[in-house]
């Protein structure tokens, strides 16, 4: 599995949310659904400055199927998202909704 650099994720957080970000820590996350692993990787936690509501953000990237490119995720720490695991779950749910809409 290819991991990206923390500074690439920092730039993704700053670009997507219009704030500055400071790296805090990396957290391994393994998300399963009905016994199957749906995501397994590292989520980077950033303290953010200049956002009106959030003080933290979670960022990671995943490979895009059928491509050598990666998709970057940057999720704000706003309830119900209060942890790296919750951020991954929220992104998975949002992605499933988007696929069902197409």
The two three-digit tokens of residue 51, written as one number: 């956002």
Backbone angles phi, psi at 73, to 5 degrees: -115, 135
State the pTM of this model.
0.89
Structure tokens at 79: 């309830």
Q: How far apart are CA 82 and CA 87, in angstroms?
A: 7
Where along the chain do its domains lie?
6-101
Average pLDDT over all residues of the chain: 91
Q: For the segment 7-18, what is each residue's pLDDT rounded down to a tens digit?
A: 999 999 999 999
Q: Token pair for residue 5?
A: 């650099």
101: confidence class by pLDDT, cuts 50, 70, 90: low
């Amino acid at each position: 599995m290819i991991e990206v650099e923390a500074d690439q994720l920092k730039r993704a957080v700053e670009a997507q949310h219009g704030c500055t970000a400071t790296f805090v820590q990396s957290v391994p996350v393994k998300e399963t659904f009905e016994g199957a692993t749906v995501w397994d990787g590292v989520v980077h936690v950033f303290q953010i400055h200049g956002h009106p509501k959030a003080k933290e953000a979670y960022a990671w990237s995943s490979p895009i199927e059928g491509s050598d490119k990666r998709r970057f995720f940057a999720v704000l720490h706003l309830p119900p998202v209060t942890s790296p695991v919750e951020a991954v779950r929220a992104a998975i749910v949002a992605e499933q909704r988007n696929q069902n809409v197409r």
